[in-house]
């Protein structure tokens, strides 16, 4: 039942996000919104302007002061020491322990872990062998929560389709076959539904396994994994992603009328849920400690790479936002809270449990900020909120003119839809030049090599300025 609930949450989130921004993809070419029609009272404008010196101190700390290069160093230390951090694994718990120690070493307040029960899925050995029309071993990755094939594997003829509609129209041909999806990449938000629902769609028409063209716009023979969800009442069949190159190769074979025979072997297993932790640290507010500005990223990752981009970078800049405030002796009026989520990759499990614990306290949240779309050169914020709150965020952005980070793009962070949609809390994500993000996303290429020290310094500075100024205003952001 949890998997169905998670799928419903994903679909609901995607639909609301679409209403705001078109889809969930990063938009590196976004232009700043025109000035809000809401006219801010002069006292609020002046409050924000009065933070220019603080904003400059934060920017200078990261770009030419003691924090220069620190974000890259801290990020590399985490991912190089711990490596991949899949949900339910001992390495994820090692990362959490390491971060708790780091947060305490920076003398942040109320550092602790909050329990969360999370899925534990393991990949095991895996391969897909093309047997006809020639012998060839493909590069694949099982999809998260997939079942295994059993020790004998599955050998069957394949059918190649380009859409769910084509599968439905050819359902009589699919029974007893391995269904290969060769869907074109349109956008991550639109195309990832093949990854999340492809297995159940194939099983519904009698398919015995499904292979999904990797959800990415570009490939150098690189598969990209991710979570998938089974539908109740439909048999669970093994599923994996394949490269764009192999999906297109089989589509050409199929179009020529050639018989395609594959052997799929997956050792994937769903084990019992395990107890993990959301990692929490604070700078307690001086005037309204009960009110919260939350910055966040997730510590877990897939098991195939060190995942510097998705999403250790977002977790580290959230730590840095508090660290710089503490280091500079700044005293925000309300509490700044860093929350490093556990088990985000399996449908935001950690954040859902945190929301459940805070559902009666959302009135004390000024904003929920999450960085999970890369930490490349920052350009501003993606934001969702009322016209008055939007005008405030745009005004804060003017403090970052010298950092070229004034964009305010109307987009919604889907992980915290419960806060934003159900509770009306303003939400934000880091907006950055991440047009290549999905080249590396959920692949073995997500390593420190994709990160840049200068860009990380700027990301930490921008994230910290927005969070600190919002936390230090006289009033919370208006709903």
Name 169's Cβ contacts closer than 8 Å, sequence gap at least 6.
Answer: none
* CA–CA gap between residue 339 and residue 413 (Å, rounded): 15
Neighbours of 16 (CB within 10 A): 16
Cα 19–Cα 20–Cα 22 angle in degrees, nearest 5: 70
Burial class (CB in 10 A: 0-12, 13-18, 19+), 329: exposed
Look up 173 and say whether it is catalytic.
no
Q: Facing residues of 409 across strands?
A: 382
Name 360's Cβ contacts closer than 8 Å, sequence gap at least 6.
Answer: none
Q: For position 418, what pLDDT does the model report?
A: 75
Which pair of tokens denotes residue 414?
A: 């889907």
Integer distance in angstroms from the first to the last C-alpha of the chain? 33
Which parts of the chain sit beneath pLDDT 50? 1-24, 27-32, 413
Q: Which residues of 352-369 are buried (b: 16+ CB within 10 A; e: fewer)?
A: bbbbeebeeebebbbbbb
Before 79, cis peptide (omega within 30)? no
Q: Look at residues 244, 253, 262 and name the one whose alpha carbon lies nearest to residue 208.
A: 262
**In what order do the strands lie in the sheet containing 136-138?**
136-138, 126-132, 261-266, 154-161, 178-181, 209-213, 239-242, 140-142
Which pair of tokens denotes residue 77?
A: 């230390």
Measured in degrees and rounded to the nearest 5, phi and psi for residue 83 equal: 80, -155
* CA–CA gap between residue 34 and residue 148 (Å, rounded): 52
CB 141 within 8 A of CB 240: yes
CB 427 within 8 A of CB 441: no
**Which of 93, 282, 344, 382 is an active site residue?**
344
Task: Could you please state the CATH topology (level 3) that the domain comprising 2-120+272-472 is classified under.
Answer: Aminopeptidase (3.40.630)
Q: Where are the domain boundaries for CATH 3.40.630.10 in the chain? A: 2-120+272-472
What string of DSSP letters covers 352-414? HHHHHHHTT-GGGEEEEEE--S--SSEEEEEEE--HHHHHHHHHHHGGGGGGT--EEEE---G
CB 212 within 8 A of CB 185: no
Burial class (CB in 10 A: 0-12, 13-18, 19+), 320: buried
116 three-class SS: strand
Q: For position 420, what pLDDT does the model report?
A: 84
Residue 63: C-alpha distances to residues 89, 257, 277, 452 (Å)? 36, 60, 32, 13
Half-sphere exposure for 251 (CA within 13 Å, toward CB) = 17
Q: For position 419, what pLDDT does the model report?
A: 86
Q: Look at residues 162, 128, 124 and name the one whose alpha carbon lies nearest to residue 146.
A: 124
Q: What is the pLDDT of residues 257-283, one digit of tens each?
A: 999 999 999 999 999 999 999 999 999
Alpha helices in 235-337 (DSSP H): 244-255, 313-327
Q: How far is CA 366 from the centre of its chain?
A: 22
124-267 CATH: 3.50.30.30
Q: Where are the domain boundaries for CATH 3.50.30.30 in the chain? A: 124-267
Measured in degrees and rounded to the nearest 5, phi and psi for residue 54 equal: -65, -40
Q: What is the pLDDT of residues 346-370, one digit of tens each?
A: 999 999 999 999 999 999 999 999 9
pTM of the predicted model as reported, rounded to 2 decimal places: 0.92
CB 263 within 8 A of CB 153: yes
Measured in degrees and rounded to the nearest 5, phi and psi for residue 29 equal: -100, 15
CB 410 within 8 A of CB 383: yes
Measured in degrees and rounded to the nearest 5, phi and psi for residue 203 equal: -65, -35
Q: Which residue has the tokens 């890369």?
A: 374
Name 293's Cβ contacts closer than 8 Å, sequence gap at least 6.
Answer: 332, 334, 335, 336, 337, 365, 366, 367, 369, 467, 470, 471
């Amino acid at each position: 039942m949890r998997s169905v609930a998670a799928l419903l949450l994903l679909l609901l989130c995607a639909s609301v996000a679409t209403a705001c921004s078109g889809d969930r993809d990063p938009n590196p070419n976004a232009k700043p919104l025109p000035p809000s029609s809401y006219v801010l009272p002069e006292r609020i404008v002046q409050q924000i302007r009065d933070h220019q010196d603080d904003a400059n101190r934060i920017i200078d700390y990261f770009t030419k002061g003691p924090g220069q290069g620190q974000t890259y160093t801290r990020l590399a230390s985490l991912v190089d020491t711990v490596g991949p951090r899949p949900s339910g694994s001992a390495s994820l718990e090692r990362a959490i322990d390491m971060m708790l120690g780091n947060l305490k070493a920076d003398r942040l307040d109320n550092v602790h872990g909050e329990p969360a029960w999370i899925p534990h899925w393991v990949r095991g050995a895996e391969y897909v062998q093309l047997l006809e029309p020639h012998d060839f071993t493909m590069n694949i990755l099982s999809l998260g929560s997939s079942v295994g094939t059993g020790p004998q594997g599955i050998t069957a003829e394949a059918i190649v389709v380009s859409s769910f509609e084509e599968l439905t129209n050819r359902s009589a041909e699919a029974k007893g076959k391995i269904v290969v999806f060769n869907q074109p990449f349109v956008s991550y938000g639109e195309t990832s539904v093949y990854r999340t629902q492809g297995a159940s769609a194939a099983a519904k028409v009698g398919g015995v396994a499904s292979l999904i063209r990797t959800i990415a716009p570009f490939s150098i023979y690189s598969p990209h994994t991710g979570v998938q969800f089974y539908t109740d009442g439909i048999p669970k069949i093994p599923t994996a992603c394949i490269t764009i190159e192999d999906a297109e190769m089989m589509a050409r074979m199929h179009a020529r009328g050639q018989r395609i025979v594959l052997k799929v072997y997956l050792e994937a297993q769903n084990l019992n849920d395990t107890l993990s932790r959301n990692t929490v640290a604070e700078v307690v507010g001086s005037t309204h400690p009960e009110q919260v500005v939350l910055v966040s990223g997730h510590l877990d990752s897939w098991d195939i790479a060190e995942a510097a981009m998705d999403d250790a970078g977002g977790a580290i800049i959230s730590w840095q936002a508090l660290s710089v405030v503490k280091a500079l002796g700044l005293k925000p009026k309300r509490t700044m809270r860093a929350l490093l989520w556990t088990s985000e990759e399996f449908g935001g499990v950690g954040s859902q449990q945190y929301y459940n614990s805070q559902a009666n306290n959302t009135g004390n949240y000024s904003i929920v900020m999450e960085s999970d779309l890369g930490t490349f050169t920052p350009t501003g914020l993606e934001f969702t909120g009322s016209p008055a709150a939007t005008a405030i965020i745009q005004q804060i952005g003017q403090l970052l003119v010298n950092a070229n980070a004034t964009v305010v793009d109307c987009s919604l962070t889907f992980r915290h839809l419960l806060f934003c949609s159900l509770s009306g809390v303003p939400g934000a994500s880091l907006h950055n030049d991440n047009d290549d993000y999905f080249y590396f996303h959920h692949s073995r290429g997500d390593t420190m090599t994709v990160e840049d020290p200068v860009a990380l310094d700027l990301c930490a500075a921008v994230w910290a300025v927005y969070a600190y100024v919002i936390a230090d205003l006289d009033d919370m952001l208006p709903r």
